[in-house]
Structure 1
Amino acid sequence: MKFLDLFAGIGGFHLGMEQAGHQCVGWVEWDKFARQSYQAIHNVKGVWNASDIRTVRASEFPRADCWCFGFPCQDISVAGKQKGFTAGKRSSLFFTVTGLIRDLEEKNRPSYLLIENVKNLLSINRGLDFLKLQIELDEIGYDVEWSVLDSAEVVPQHRERIFIVGHIRGRRTRKVFPIVKGNREVDSRPDSTNTLTTRYGEAQGAGSYIVESKPSQVRQIGNISSSNSFGGNPQVGRVYGTDGIAPTISTMQGGGQEPKVAVREATKIGYDIAKLGDSINFAQPNSNTRRGRVGHGVANTLTTAIEQATLTDDLKIRKLTPLETWRLQGFPDWAFARAREAGLSDSQLYKQAGNSVTVPVIKAIADRMELQ
């Protein structure tokens, strides 16, 4: 199938659809840094594109079988102001897209719509906004199905998102959901890495670039064991402090055991334990209400800022690198290398990963989309 990539970002939809055998015939993205990455990563020379969907006329779009878009979520996300997608300035761009479809003759409308957004879209404004979305799609001729999918099924990142598939009435399209994944490696690729950590200073993947995030040194600040506790072994009770991450994190190491980190959080026990390969969320380090700071073998949901760290095997804590955040979204290393070589800063690379969709999730959906 041919597809349009709207609100394209760095092309998570593009890559996932392409891996499933579909062809991009046009893309729209307004952010200049995201456009810079998109053009570096994807083969889009000569492909129709625009920077602002609000200034595009429907007649300008290339004919496509599917329109892909994850419209802006700042007005819907629990981390935002939650104005709703009808009242919010950014999220109401959904209606800009449906308005363009209204302006097309029915024969020129896409057979599929593939839409992504935050899980909160289901419940914001007591579910009325999601009802309005369904009504709008119904009025322009689409039956819809949807599912909440967690990226942790295919990459080591817990990231729940709602995916909505619109099927134009009167054409033969294939039902997509449910998608059942019993094997987390089912959508892994030989040129991508389903791993949370890389070693400091190690070159990765295509191209030669160095991991920039320096680890924090850990120092012993006390011992919580007595001579009669832990079998009389003082090693087990050693408590370490970390500088440069957060005052709420301390590190403990048991004798002969792997390094562990005690992370304070608002639970009955008051802390959680992080081990090698776990992620540690250090956003709002002095908060008395935060829970779930430790991701056991999986990262918390990526955001547009770098708020997560990991424990190394030499008892150091360091931030995730930009490369690791892109890996957590399922991008192959060569894609990151192209964006890096295009001159993108670390802050932009972190932001772009946090704003993207998870590539293997898109591929899993796109594999099931075909015209019958």
Structure 2
Amino acid sequence: MKIKTFLDLCSGIGGGRLGLEFAGLKSIGYSDTSRLAVRTYRLMHNTEGEPYFYNLKRIKTELLPSYDLLIAGFPCQTFSVIGRKEGFSDDRGQIIFHICRILSETQPKCFLLENVKGLVTHDKGNTLRVILNELRLAGYEVVYKVLTSLDYGVPQMRQRVYFVGVRKDIECDLSEFEWPKPIPIPPLAEYLIDEKLADKERLEILSYYLKNPVNNGKYTVEDIQTFEGKIIDTRMNDLRIYDGRCPTLRAQRDGVLYVKSGEIYQLTGYEALLLQGFPIEYADKVRLEVSDRHLLMQAGNAMTVNVIKLIGESLVRLLE
């Protein structure tokens, strides 16, 4: 049994779409409520002739074309350790129930969902149990696993939980599904190529972090300038230094710095796209069309292209 097409829900800027296209599948439509993300999506991807469904809560499934796979990186703020962890009490946390409704009413052969690692332990595991039960009630067998993008071809420490489901009436043993095997980490320097010098405001923020009670006396700005090739991350009251890897990109993270040839640079949205697995030719399409601030936010919300490609390929092999 072959899978050829997919429906892209909570599509963001299309990291999931691109991963599945690289796995040989074709999109039949997409849905996202962010006007800015949809603009970037359309700049990056060829959506000519594809329907755009805006809010998936309002999708009338009887109007959907036939498709084989549903993909969605459903909203994660309500489950994240960074957010307030309100879960299902937050309207964004209800999106998973609408996804289950669409699955139940359209019955594609399979699905691929992504969310933050914190979903697994949210509310002492009750949230995960509810979601798995809803997916099974929709007619699917489900497996899930936490993966880190660092293991799959990009030097970013991004941990996410991935759900793979196959319709129960399909003769397929989901226990035989092969999660992608880790591959070597590429050199971080290959991704830090935009070379935007840290502006005065960023350097002042760095200086502030170096002098706060947690970090006072550890380093000076001059010390930081000697950390060749390293990532410098100012987070909460903490200063973190990474070698050969970048911390998880987030929608609100814009304080990541790095050192190159004795100069301090700030991570750009263009570089963030590369760290999410978007090829240079895709990043080039939006580099001058979307503000750096918005690209940083959108990349932080995206799925890692490499991970989705590898999971998609595994799912295709399983069903074939």
Asked if Structure 1 and Structure 2 have the same fold, meaning a TM-score greater than 0.5 normalized by the shorter chain, the answer is: yes
Number of residue pairs aligned between Structure 1 and Structure 2: 305
- 1:36 Cα deviation (Å)? 0.6
Letter in 2 for 1:161: R
Q: What per-residue deviation string (whole Å, max 9, x for no partner) do you get for residues 287-340 of structure 1?
A: 2xx37x112211111111312110111x22221122111111011112122123
Q: What per-residue deviation string (whole Å, max 9, x for no partner) do you get for residues 73-119 of structure 1?
A: 110000101011x2221021110111123334xxxx11111000000
Q: What per-residue deviation string (whole Å, max 9, x for no partner) do you get for residues 168-190 of structure 1?
A: 112134643432214335xx9xx
- Partners of 1:194 and 1:368 in 2: CA distance: 30
2:246 is matched with which residue?
A: 299
- Partners of 1:194 and 1:168 in 2: CA distance: 43
- 1:56 Cα deviation (Å)? 1.1
Greater RCO (Cα-Cα under 8 Å, separation 6 or more) = 2
- Partners of 1:45 and 1:264 in 2: CA distance: 55
- 1:194 Cα deviation (Å)? 7.2
% identical equivalent positions: 28
- Partners of 1:182 and 1:53 in 2: CA distance: 35
User: Conserved in 1, the CA contact under 8 Å of 2:77 and 2:84?
Assistant: yes
Letter in 2 for 1:178: W
Q: Which of 147, 150, 172 is 1:149 aligned to? A: 147
Q: What per-residue deviation string (whole Å, max 9, x for no partner) do you get for residues 263-296 of structure 1?
A: 9967xx967x973222111133xx2xx37x1122
1:245 is matched with which residue?
A: 206
- Partners of 1:79 and 1:143 in 2: CA distance: 30
Which aligned pairs between 1:151-166 and structure 2 lie closer than 5 A?
151-153=149-151, 154-166=153-165
Name the CA shift for 1:76/1:244 in 2 (closer, same or farther; >3 Å). closer
Q: Does 1:331 align with 2:278?
A: yes
User: Conserved in 1, the CA contact under 8 Å of 2:198 and 2:257?
Assistant: no
- Partners of 1:320 and 1:134 in 2: CA distance: 37
Name the CA shift for 1:216/1:25 in 2 (closer, same or farther; >3 Å). closer
User: Conserved in 1, the CA contact under 8 Å of 2:43 and 2:286?
Assistant: yes
Structure 2 segments unaligned to the other structure (5+ residues) = none
1:184 is matched with which residue?
A: 185
Structure 1 segments unaligned to the other structure (5+ residues) = 201-212, 218-241, 251-262
- Partners of 1:352 and 1:149 in 2: CA distance: 21
Q: Hey, which bits of structure 1, 4+ residues long, moved more than 6 A?
A: none
User: Conserved in 2, the CA contact under 8 Å of 1:65 and 1:112?
Assistant: yes
Q: Does 1:170 align with 2:169?
A: yes
- Partners of 1:22 and 1:264 in 2: CA distance: 52
- 1:43 Cα deviation (Å)? 1.1
1:60 is matched with which residue?
A: 63
Question: For 1:367, what is the secondary structure of its paired residue?
Answer: helix
* TM-score using structure 2 length: 0.87
User: Conserved in 2, the CA contact under 8 Å of 1:322 and 1:346?
Assistant: yes
Q: What per-residue deviation string (whole Å, max 9, x for no partner) do you get for residues 5-41 of structure 1?
A: 0000000011000001111111111111111111111
1:123 is matched with which residue?
A: 121
Q: Does 1:94 align with 2:93?
A: no
Which aligned pairs between 1:346-361 and structure 2 lie closer than 5 A?
346-361=292-307
2:256 is matched with which residue?
A: 308
Residues 143-152 or 168-177, more deviating? 168-177
- Partners of 2:114 and 2:292 in 1: CA distance: 26
Higher alpha-carbon Rg:
1
Name the CA shift for 1:283/1:22 in 2 (closer, same or farther; >3 Å). same
1:228 is matched with which residue?
A: none
* TM-score using structure 1 length: 0.76
- Partners of 2:276 and 2:40 in 1: CA distance: 15
- 1:248 Cα deviation (Å)? 2.7
Q: Does 1:197 align with 2:192?
A: yes
2:198 is matched with which residue?
A: 215
Letter in 2 for 1:340: R
Question: For 2:315, what is the secondary structure of its paired residue?
Answer: coil
Letter in 2 for 1:347: R
Q: Which has the higher helix share?
A: 2
Name the CA shift for 1:114/1:194 in 2 (closer, same or farther; >3 Å). farther
User: Once superposed, what is the RMSD of the aligned Cα atoms?
Assistant: 2.6
User: Conserved in 1, the CA contact under 8 Å of 2:149 and 2:304?
Assistant: yes
